[in-house]
Structure 1
Amino acid sequence: MIVYSWEHDGLRERPTLWEALKLSAERHRGIALTGGGGKTSVMFRLADELANMGKTVIVTTTTHIFHPPGRNVVETDCAEDAAKRLERNGSVLVVGVPGADGKLKSLPLAEAARLKELADVLLYEADGAKQLPIKVPKDGEPVILECTDAVIGCMGLDCIGGELEEFCFRTEQAAELLGLQKEPDGYCSHRITCGDAAKILTSESGTRKLVGERDYRVVMNKADNEELIAKAVRIAGDMERLHPVPCAVSCFLRGDHL
């Protein structure tokens, strides 16, 4: 994966996603991930980068995540069980309660909050999007712990140009946020634009919901060709005008010209 940060006039390649997002392990010890496509990949990328820096990391969820293969996992509803399994000097521990369909679900929220005190950094998914690339939350979403220091909103760039009904989770909320009219049958015929994405990512009714005074970051994933990279640049520019926020772009395309 190649990672870029948005620097007002363009993208700059960075060695780590952690650096691209301008995060601090001292200030950002509890980090929630919200929004659409790529939350899990971003979460584990950050966890591994922190482990390489010698930090201990606990990964969990306040909703549901797939049971991650090849990871050190503790299935429990008690934070103290995690303390017994967490290795020191650079390690990643996944903690969750066994759920349906091979997933892990949230610990009781008070126990989930306790996990922050057991490791250098707590990373957790606070939102679900049914694997769709962009999302507008409904009432009760996302589930953000009080101890959270920063929120990272995620989006998959493959939604741009796609039908809202096909690529966005919670289309009713999205249509309301974007001021769109629905057809008599309830269908919303609209293709997602870069401007739509910027508005969703920066709106307090969208991906920035419940962030409050916490630090906010954005990751745009799947910038895997020249066209999608150009769209990421447009969205980042639009966000800078709407609500300036540190923004990273991930891709698998080598782009030394950027």
Structure 2
Amino acid sequence: MKINEALRIGNKSAVAFVGAGGKTTAMFNLAREFDFPSIITTTTNMGLEQITLGDKHINLNGDLPDGSDFSDEKVTVVTDRMNANRSRWQGLDDLQISRLRNVAGVLSRALLIEADGAKTLPLKAPGEDEPIIPDFVDQVIVIAGLGAVGNFLDEGNVFRPALYSELSGEEQNKPVSLESIARMLVNPMGGLKGIPENAKRTAILNHADLVPLNDSELAMFRNYLIKHYHEAYIGSLHEGWLLGLY
């Protein structure tokens, strides 16, 4: 099924995206699927190329967002000012993101929030100060890229490989296993880190077009995830499809 046929995000929803291996693809493909306008933002930072995926970019430049900033564009990207070396757009602070939530609600626009970074790698372990997930979100979507499976657990494939090794039990510089991904997703300091108590927890195993799983592998993920996530999916965010694991 299409991504939002599975996720059922509405025009009043506030959703945070964390993890690695498809956050940007998920947010912008979802925004294009919606039959209503949406707002994409971040609490960390956003690459220059990500901005071009939207229809309009609002640079708050230290100010608070206002409803009058928005027009009829389907996908509006909101950031703060550029960083010092002008390589990335800075994310919103607590007051800015809270105000943006109010603006999105008044305008009936879904609010999609990138809440951590992964340096475009398929897997990661959360850093000490991340994720930065606002307390008000209705849902947190945790993404893991299956494309790392079979590749070495090193800096070329995993963001913070030493910490990933510690949290998942996988040895560094050995091939990444499927079970290490499952263990990372259910670790309170891994995939579950920082999720607000009342938020819906959703796991997505991306890159299923590259790494198809057999029935026993799907069952392994199901057994790990079902106790910790309200829903879990496997699919290809690039191709635009998801299948439910339970």
**TM-score (norm. length: structure 1):** 0.78
Tell me: CA distance 1:248–1:180, structure 2 relative to 1, closer, same or farther (3 Å).
closer
Q: Give yes or no for the alignment of 1:59 onto 2:40.
A: yes
Q: Give yes or no for the alignment of 1:107 onto 2:92.
A: yes
- What is the CA–CA distance in structure 2 between the aligned matches of 1:122 and 1:91, rounded to whole Å? 12
- Structure 1 runs, 4 residues or longer, greater than 6 Å off: 252-255
Whether the 8 Å CA contact 1:132–1:167 is kept in 2: the answer is yes
Q: Give yes or no for the alignment of 1:128 onto 2:117.
A: yes
The one of 22, 25, 30 aligned to 2:14: 30
1:175 aligned partner: 165
Deviation at 1:126, TM superposition (A): 0.5
Q: Give yes or no for the alignment of 1:17 onto 2:7.
A: no
Deviation at 1:20, TM superposition (A): 1.6
- Residue segments in structure 1 that go unaligned for 5+ positions in a row: 1-13, 182-187
- Residue segments in structure 2 that go unaligned for 5+ positions in a row: 242-246
1:4 aligned partner: none
Whether the 8 Å CA contact 1:74–1:96 is kept in 2: the answer is yes
Deviation at 1:230, TM superposition (A): 1.8
1:78 aligned partner: 63
Deviations 1:161-203 (A, max 9, x none): 111113111122112112356xxxxxx2321111111111222
Whether the 8 Å CA contact 2:29–2:240 is kept in 1: the answer is no
Counterpart of 1:209 in 2: which secondary structure?
coil
Counterpart of 2:208 in 1: which secondary structure?
coil
Q: Give yes or no for the alignment of 1:163 onto 2:152.
A: yes
Deviation at 1:130, TM superposition (A): 1.1
Q: In the comparison of the two structures, how many residue pairs are matched?
A: 225
The one of 215, 227, 235 aligned to 2:200: 215
Deviation at 1:106, TM superposition (A): 0.9
The one of 170, 179, 192 aligned to 1:195: 179
Deviation at 1:22, TM superposition (A): 4.4
Deviation at 1:149, TM superposition (A): 1.4
Worse-superposed segment, 140-149 or 99-108: 99-108
User: What is the CA RMSD across the aligned residues, in angstroms?
Assistant: 2.4
Counterpart of 2:52 in 1: which secondary structure?
coil
Alignment of 1:225-236 (within 5 A): 225=210, 228-230=211-213, 236=218
Deviation at 1:78, TM superposition (A): 2.6
**TM-score (norm. length: structure 2):** 0.81
